[in-house]
Amino acid sequence: MSSVIINEVRPGFYLDSVALMRYSKSIAGLDGVEEAAMMMASPSNRQIMFDAGLLNDVSAGAEGGDLIIGIRACDANTAEAARAEANLILDQPTTSGQGETWRPKSIRAAVKASPDANLALISVAGDFAAAEARKSLRRGLHVMMFSDNVSIADELSLKQEARELGLLVMGPDCGTAIINGTPLAFANVVPKGGIGVIGASGTGTQEITCLIAQGGGGISQALGVGGRDLKDEIGGITTLMALDALDADPDTRHIVLISKPPAKAVADKVVARIGASKKTFTVCFIGATDWDLPANARFASSLKTASEHALGGKALFANFNANAIAKPASAAKVCGLFSGGTLCAEVQTLFINAGLTVMSNAAIPGVDALSENSTAHTIIDLGSDEYTQGRPHPMIDPSVRDQALATAMADPSVGIVLVDVVIGYGAHEDPAGHLVASLGASLSGSTLVIASVTGTDGDPQGRLSQISKLETAGILVAPSNADAAELALACLKLAG
């Protein structure tokens, strides 16, 4: 069967050649069409169409200002259909006018486009984070480095450069900050108020800011410094800058400092800086039992106590009575599975203070490293590196905890499974729902599950609605992480 050529001339119809090439391509792509072109009838275009076998007598009289539609197809019907389609396109040439929105590929371009930018939030892979932070500083941005796996040498040089420039580097591995009421990365919606928080720990800052909110207080700023800022190598550069800033901030009345116990020399500098301030402080070094502090500062060994100090000594959740809701544990061992590192540390502190033997993959002083066949209570930080290499953090993807939960629930030596549920910006959209679904039928067994929810009702997930999901499923819910630990202890005690 031979091909059919159809020509049509549209006199005086002008379209740009680029537009015509695009339309030609779509007609040539129709089923059964061998070749198609729409071109202005200039001599050179006519030659091109002739060479392509697209011209017949119909277009012989076409002149430069005319448009030729040339179609070669397998049969007449197909050719006619293609011609109709071509005319349709020509008469309604506008496609979507919606251009893709431009997105900068570099910090340089972003700052150019947004000259009032004042903070870079960096969460790229650790290998690249320091370079991006350096670029941000050179463009005058303060930096919050959510990224981890940044070398301590890079951290030091970044913080030194930042200090020269008067800029703050929060992090690396800074999960949480609240600046001017805006939660950044993993953070919660809390009211504005007079309490400033400086945290080397993300979940520690989350728990304290949420507990303060539940106690009726508010937060002026929550600045993260990164987990290593108070080590000797870094020397507390960011902590000291944050202290200066909050000390000078008229909206900050009281300052809470949260960290693991710092290096001695760094602690001395920080404590001296605190002593030089006219404001009052709460210092919470999780894992330490006490610390020598100046008169304007009080020590707290747990996040809950720190929150109470910050609230001026107000007791939190006075109506909560662990003994009243405790049930006897079916076996002697507690297995804690935490997504928040500092929540994990707080439970360890409370357990060893109660005289229990504890082991952990993220052991605080006085706690053993993990070992097989030990009868010690096991308190695991699922956010630590060995669980998150190449995987999302359990606060983003709670399924990281699923396997460990199933194992613990099936272990006859475990009587209590203790967990945290962290909500807020950055976190999973429904961690309580996920936890309940993951536990499934194991919830009807004899193992007790105890949880607390770190968050507020202002958070997208809603604290009360998360608690209600847990309670409906038969999980015992305490109002704070520390209270959850107390509840576990009460359940152990009931079991004798």
Cα 66 from Cα 224, distance rounded (Å): 69
Task: Find all residues with CB under 8 Å of 121, minimum gap 6, and list them.
Answer: 144, 146, 184, 185
Q: How many other C-beta atoms are found inside a 10 Å radius of the C-beta of residue 313? A: 8
Q: Which stretch binds another protein (CB under 8 A): 29-37, 262-270, 287-295, 364-372?
A: 29-37
Please name the residue that has the structure tokens 């929060």: 170
Cβ-based nearer residue to another protein, 166 or 496: 166
Q: Which stretch binds another protein (CB under 8 A): 105-113, 273-281, 322-330, 367-375?
A: 105-113
Cβ-based nearer residue to another protein, 133 or 306: 133
Cα 98 from Cα 75, distance rounded (Å): 37
Q: Give, as ranges, the residues between 181 and 220 that touch another protein (CB under 8 A).
A: 182-185, 220
Cβ-based nearer residue to another protein, 145 or 416: 145
Shortest distance, CB of residue 211 to another protein, whole angstroms?
22
Q: Of these, 109, 152, 153, 265, which contacts another protein (CB under 8 A)?
A: 109
Mask of contacts with another protein, 117-156, x by CB under 8 A?
xxxxxxxxx-xx-xxx-xxx-x--xx---xx---------
Helix or strand run (H / E) with residue 64: none
Look at residues 171, 218, 166, 169 and name the one whose alpha carbon lies nearest to residue 196: 218
Task: Find all residues with CB under 8 Å of 364, minimum gap 6, and list them.
Answer: 260, 286, 287, 345, 348, 349, 352
Q: Of these, 163, 314, 327, 493, which contacts another protein (CB under 8 A)?
A: 163
DSSP category for residue 314: P
Task: Find all residues with CB under 8 Å of 51, minimum gap 6, and list them.
Answer: none
Mask of contacts with another protein, 452-481, x by CB under 8 A?
------------------------------
Q: Of these, 114, 149, 375, 468, which contacts another protein (CB under 8 A)?
A: 114
Q: Of these, 98, 319, 373, 389, which contacts another protein (CB under 8 A)?
A: 98
Q: Give, as ranges, the residues between 319 and 378 that touch another protein (CB under 8 A).
A: none
Q: Per rule CB under 8 A, is residue 161 in the interface with another protein? A: no
Maximum CA extent, the chain: 106
Q: Give, as ranges, the residues between 2 and 21 that touch another protein (CB under 8 A).
A: 16, 18-19, 21
Shortest distance, CB of residue 277 to another protein, whole angstroms?
14
Whether 351 and 358 have beta carbons less than 8 Å apart is answered as yes
Q: Per rule CB under 8 A, is residue 107 in the interface with another protein? A: yes
Whether 190 and 250 have beta carbons less than 8 Å apart is answered as no
Cα 311 from Cα 297, distance rounded (Å): 13
Q: Give, as ranges, the residues between 417 and 456 that touch another protein (CB under 8 A).
A: 425-426
Q: Per rule CB under 8 A, is residue 35 in the interface with another protein? A: yes
> DSSP for 114-167?
-TT--EEEE-S-HHHHHHHHHHHHHTT-EEEE------HHHHHHHHHHHHHHT-
Q: Which stretch binds another protein (CB under 8 A): 4-12, 99-107, 202-210, 444-452?
A: 99-107
Look at residues 34, 30, 29 and name the one whose alpha carbon lies nearest to residue 1: 34
Q: Per rule CB under 8 A, is residue 108 in the interface with another protein? A: yes
Look at residues 178, 493, 188, 470 and name the one whose alpha carbon lies nearest to residue 340: 188
Q: Give, as ranges, the residues between 244 and 283 that touch another protein (CB under 8 A).
A: 244-246, 248-249
Q: Give, as ranges, the residues between 53 and 92 that touch another protein (CB under 8 A).
A: 53-54, 70
Shortest distance, CB of residue 42 to another protein, whole angstroms?
8
Site size for another protein (CB under 8 A): 86
Q: Per rule CB under 8 A, is residue 157 in the interface with another protein? A: no
